[in-house]
Structure 1
């Protein structure tokens, strides 16, 4: 017998002894209080020495600790037979069966093997058998097989109705459409009855395909868009209610795909404005569920974010200018109000702020000309950057930097042609907002201050050097080349002196080093580019000035030990 077994046996015996001692004390008390014993003098009963409480508690504690230690975690091996034969085998072969049914309808039609009514009857009987057997399997807790059979039954119903209408012309488009809607409603009922996402996806795919399976000589865009929109709303509500992630994504993608396919083959159809209207409704409903539910929030946030781009693409492609402007202004106002109302829920207000920034970004591109666009994007990016740091939103930081980079590129590709012009103002806005960006990071993120100053200082030097170069060349555009390059060298030397002076004033070594680097760059420019083209007197002036500045700078850097 091992040590633990002995301790367990002793603890069990201790419990039994304690119980017997309690019973014995109760009997002795009864005897002492009886009338017979009252007349006799009785010697005191010597009780057994009690076990110290510390020993009992110590043993109990050790016993609890031993029992509390969990057994080693055992991972059960995967049941590959169940995965392959019970889960995936029926899914694969129901697809094979449906393909066979399609080819069977086609072959029977081509070779005239069966009467049309017989072929359609066989299709409906097959579907009914699938639905009946699948229903039984679901009731017997064989969910995977039951879902496959029920989904196959719905699919065969849709295909049989399509064949009856399009291949054999046995019913008209209205009757076929009504039947297809009934089959989709049946799929929805089965989905809610058995909480099956597979059934829901089969039903939603078939539902969005129904209008394309109906041949009509006079198709109505109102009926098509209305049907597809209502179908999306039904299945999206079903996805949110039953928490079906894949159904949620499928509903979002299928509506856009169906409308895009419809528009691609009939771009001049009457009522084309209904297509972006349906997408606007989709975006509004997605936003509503994002704000009022907590299911798969990351996917919902990504879907709403994608919907902003998709909706704007539809609106921009079909609506007129005034309608586009009103749509964008309404979107900006809506997201501003929602951001204020949901400001206490950070995980939602971040996404609302990002979407509002996108609407403003699209509004700037749509409403303003390219001449002013760069400056506006710089201001928007800087404002969004400050708000992102203040409210600690990583996604807003990324988007604000992206907007600022676009504005920066637009300023860089638009050179200064006149000293007093809006291009010069844009450059000043770029330099000021860039410095503000460095200040924002310095204020809100102390861990990266040194790195921010180094990288930001180098980038600011580049931008300021380009600005000084373009402004100087614009101011001296009427002069000869040797005079232009002379003034440009003086401008670079002046910029170097400003950086060195700033570094001395603020005790900022990086600014002093940048100033010296600009002096060296000016010297390289003089040697490689200017010497062959400028006269001897200008060479003398430039080298004397550059030499004096370099000597003074070296004196500034000299320190006594």
Structure 2
């Protein structure tokens, strides 16, 4: 086709100039009132039909096929312009009349092109067919007729594009149709009240038509779903999404549009995967685009609700968990890394917003550590420990330890928030200092648990982490919690923290003794 374009692009441009002149003359005669509308229609039909008959007659003579195609293409363009004038610019013909006339001309041109491989003819006819309504820009709203007109053109040209593998026909039809849609939307400024308005229906019809068309095109092209078919299929979703969001603005939240497109592309990816029997670029691209749309839509679930942050954590935390499991099962590093990034971002987000987020009570009753807020912490912690365990299996000790520490920080956040909620719910009349003392004790106990875990797993990392927590608790207890008047509580807290410290010392000594014994056993075995 590149060779044909290089050789005959000036002829194609000349045809477009003639069509533009013909359309301009039509519109000028309207303004001047020289001849009536039916005479114009007759003149257009006579001229277009005459050129087509002349082109067919010349096929029997020793004239180049390119010249014949140009003449036939020019005749088809003039007929298309006449149909546009009669059925779209003025409602002189009914939509059924336009449909019959368009079908006849398009079928004739398609049959000739199929028989003689007249690629140039179809490109000229397509250019003229799309240019005519653009230049007409009618003064009355005959949009239904216009889209019948475009349906006939797209159906025929997509068929030839698939049958003859003439890629440029479907590319030009796709681009031209969406341009026509944009121009007529701006020109007519149609009403868009309600969810099921006519502009939305036409955009949806175009989206579905091209989605199916590109799938069929790929299937017929030796099941090759990549290349232009992939690019245009994705562009089709983008264009429809933009128009749908614009049209439905104020009627429907755009999250629903994204959800619809996401589901469609996920299903398309699954269909492609089924047809070719494997995961390729096209199926993966459609699936990823669908997943991205669903993720974007998920960020708006619960908009306007106080529990929106909690919903975000469940949605994105769940996504991170699923990606982590699938990534590990399939050994897809990119998916695992993506999951890790999402988990870390969600964790930071939850630490920032959890203080002002509702607790997520069950049946209106607050139960410590058994509420939706607590379960959000648990979800993030479980994912973190899962990462740590999988990293340890891969002998990535540094990564495993880092992830374990982050997971333990999440557990610390769980303890802190739940204790604060307990005081808010059941001890609302108590002083804030009592809450701080209670937090100090809980963190001290948590430091002890870290030491015990480190001794059990024989990992010094958790001992150091527990030491850090204990030091922070000591600083808090002695310099912050001691200000005030609740003396007995202070004494009790200090005694508890002292006991925890002595217990940690005992754990350390026992752990060091066991470690030394292991070393002696190893040395004796080496000596033997």
Cα distance in 1 for partners of 2:136, 2:338 equals 39
Any unmatched runs of 5+ in structure 2? Answer: 360-365, 520-528
Aligned residue in 1 for 2:279: 346
SS of alignment partner, residue 224 of structure 2: coil
Cα distance in 2 for partners of 1:186, 1:386 equals 57
Aligned residue in 1 for 2:80: 158
Cα distance in 1 for partners of 2:340, 2:75 equals 52
**Contact kept in structure 2, 1:486 and 1:542, CA below 8 Å:** yes
Aligned residue in 1 for 2:363: none
Cα distance in 2 for partners of 1:278, 1:509 equals 64
Aligned residue in 2 for 1:475: 422
Per-residue deviation at 1:521? 5.1
Cα distance in 1 for partners of 2:227, 2:334 equals 12
- The answer to whether residue 199 in structure 2 is matched with residue 297 in structure 1 is no
**Contact kept in structure 1, 2:317 and 2:379, CA below 8 Å:** yes
Per-residue deviation at 1:416? 5.8
Cα distance in 2 for partners of 1:518, 1:431 equals 18
Deviation sequence 1:296-338 (CA, Å, 0-9, x none):
515545665677785899699799xxx99xx999979967985
Cα distance in 2 for partners of 1:155, 1:398 equals 55
**Contact kept in structure 1, 2:158 and 2:170, CA below 8 Å:** yes
Per-residue deviation at 1:460? 2.8
Per-residue deviation at 1:423? 2.1
CA shift in 2, pair 1:500/1:174, >3 Å: same
Aligned residue in 2 for 1:378: 317
> 1:492 pairs with 437, 443, 448, which one?
443
Aligned residue in 2 for 1:42: none
Per-residue deviation at 1:480? 2.0
CA shift in 2, pair 1:114/1:473, >3 Å: same
Cα distance in 2 for partners of 1:303, 1:204 equals 21
SS of alignment partner, residue 375 of structure 2: helix
Per-residue deviation at 1:424? 1.4
Cα distance in 2 for partners of 1:131, 1:525 equals 97
**Contact kept in structure 2, 1:350 and 1:395, CA below 8 Å:** no
**Contact kept in structure 2, 1:165 and 1:172, CA below 8 Å:** yes
SS of alignment partner, residue 476 of structure 1: helix
Cα distance in 2 for partners of 1:394, 1:251 equals 40
**Contact kept in structure 2, 1:438 and 1:452, CA below 8 Å:** yes
Per-residue deviation at 1:201? 5.7
Deviation sequence 1:380-432 (CA, Å, 0-9, x none):
54234423443456786688679868976896646363423122123212221
**Contact kept in structure 2, 1:519 and 1:550, CA below 8 Å:** no
Aligned residue in 1 for 2:374: 424
Structural mapping, 1:121-136, within 5 Å: 121=43, 125=47
Corresponding residue pairs, total: 468
Larger radius of gyration: 1
With 173-182 and 430-439 compared, the bigger mean Cα shift is at: 173-182
Cα distance in 1 for partners of 2:69, 2:414 equals 68
> 1:453 pairs with 400, 403, 420, which one?
400
CA shift in 2, pair 1:406/1:457, >3 Å: closer
Per-residue deviation at 1:178? 3.8
CA shift in 2, pair 1:102/1:372, >3 Å: same
Deviation sequence 1:124-164 (CA, Å, 0-9, x none):
7489769979999x97587xx99888766655543344345
Cα distance in 1 for partners of 2:372, 2:327 equals 29
Per-residue deviation at 1:436? 2.8
- The answer to whether residue 326 in structure 2 is matched with residue 387 in structure 1 is yes
**Contact kept in structure 2, 1:283 and 1:304, CA below 8 Å:** yes
**Contact kept in structure 1, 2:447 and 2:469, CA below 8 Å:** yes
> 1:506 pairs with 457, 479, 490, which one?
457
CA shift in 2, pair 1:180/1:246, >3 Å: same
**Contact kept in structure 2, 1:190 and 1:199, CA below 8 Å:** no
Cα distance in 2 for partners of 1:295, 1:339 equals 10
Cα distance in 2 for partners of 1:458, 1:139 equals 83
Cα distance in 2 for partners of 1:422, 1:200 equals 63
Cα distance in 2 for partners of 1:166, 1:350 equals 42
**Contact kept in structure 1, 2:262 and 2:290, CA below 8 Å:** no
Cα distance in 2 for partners of 1:387, 1:246 equals 40
Cα distance in 2 for partners of 1:303, 1:442 equals 44
Greater relative contact order (Cα < 8 A, sep 6+): 2
TM-score, length-scaled by structure 2: 0.60
**Contact kept in structure 1, 2:80 and 2:102, CA below 8 Å:** yes
Aligned residue in 2 for 1:110: 31
Per-residue deviation at 1:471? 1.6
Cα distance in 2 for partners of 1:492, 1:259 equals 64
**Contact kept in structure 2, 1:166 and 1:213, CA below 8 Å:** yes
Per-residue deviation at 1:468? 2.8
Structural mapping, 1:302-381, within 5 Å: 341=274, 344-347=277-280, 350=284, 354=288, 374-375=313-314, 378-381=317-320
Cα distance in 1 for partners of 2:26, 2:442 equals 84
Cα distance in 1 for partners of 2:45, 2:148 equals 29
Structural mapping, 1:189-204, within 5 Å: 192=114, 193-195=117-119, 198-199=123-124, 202=127
TM-score, length-scaled by structure 1: 0.57
Across the aligned residues of Structure 1 and Structure 2, the Cα RMSD in angstroms comes to 6.3
SS of alignment partner, residue 314 of structure 2: helix
CA shift in 2, pair 1:395/1:339, >3 Å: farther
Any unmatched runs of 5+ in structure 1? Answer: 1-81
Deviation sequence 1:261-291 (CA, Å, 0-9, x none):
7797244698869655775565455556556
Per-residue deviation at 1:194? 2.8
